[in-house]
Structure 1
Amino acid sequence: MKIKSNGAINLIYILVLLMVVVGFRTIISERQKQISMMYERNNQLLEELKALQHKKEILEGILLKDKKRINGLEEEVERLRVIRARVTAYSPMDNVSGICADEDPSITATGTTPTIGVAAADPDKLEYGTKLYIPGYGNAVIEDTGAALRRGKDLRLDIVMNSHKEAVEWGVKELDVILQRRN
């Protein structure tokens, strides 16, 4: 009898053990399906990440080109600025009119020699040292001033010529003058 009761108990143990094993296998099978699904999702996300990284590289390239273009345009705007000015001419060394210099006609207001390329302006409107490009004249630097240039609200420039005749021939011109960046 003992054998039978032990056999029945053993059979119960075996049945319970089989149920536990089947339960674990079901759980393991479910977990394997979940892991497989997670691997698939992970692979999808990796592909999406690669695509996004590629798009990011493309956009960064476009952005870099645009930044360079914008910087170039900003530098150009900073370097060049067009202003409208009334431009006359004077010849301090050939002072026929007698109004070309307050004291010494061989020295500008900044202490330089008046030569071709020197311009006079109201220093409150254009600082001394400002570089200009004047159509029909060329490059000039503000190094002088004069009473007539400080009148009114309009910008007035006076450019140095070699002779009174050249100054008279220049006359009075309304011009678009390019202010250049100071270096």
Structure 2
Amino acid sequence: MSNNNKSLLSITQVRPHLFLAGYGCITPSLLKQYNITHAVDCTNLKTKPIPGLDKIEVPVDDNTLAKITQYFEPVVKFVEDAKQQGHNTVIYCAAGVSRSATLTIVYLMVTENLSLEEAYLDVNKVRPIISPNIGFWRQMIDYEKSRSGNATVELISGRMARPVPSVYLRRAVC
């Protein structure tokens, strides 16, 4: 099994209190194994409640037109409140690649005062399969500009069929 397949089928610890995953990992046994009591559900699916799991929902589809910015601050607050109470949180979507990665990156930007580039590289280091969609990249770039006045990631267009975040090119060189 390739590392990417293993990542799709695993819960990734991003911080001692914060995990990133795909929906397939959200089982009572795995939540117990990682002592996870809180969850941010970005699947936009009707899912069965899990006893003992405090959950908020982010009903956003993974497409380039979906608006996710409105959930940035409520998710940060939810995760921070859980952390302050000594609880662990998992942020998950269908595969743990786009929606949940976006919210995890933003969480690090806000709580650790990281740039978008730094937060992306930090999450990518522990979960290399992350790949927010271009619409989410645009929203994260705009959010970073609104917070700091500048952007550390830009979307590069050219001969490519779609824009590519500049951080992808720097990551490939490293």
By percentage of residues, which structure has more helix? Answer: 1
* Larger relative contact order (Cα-Cα within 8 Å, sequence gap ≥ 6): 1
Q: TM class, shorter-chain normalised?
A: under 0.3
Q: Which structure has the larger Rg?
A: 1
By percentage of residues, which structure has more strand? Answer: 1
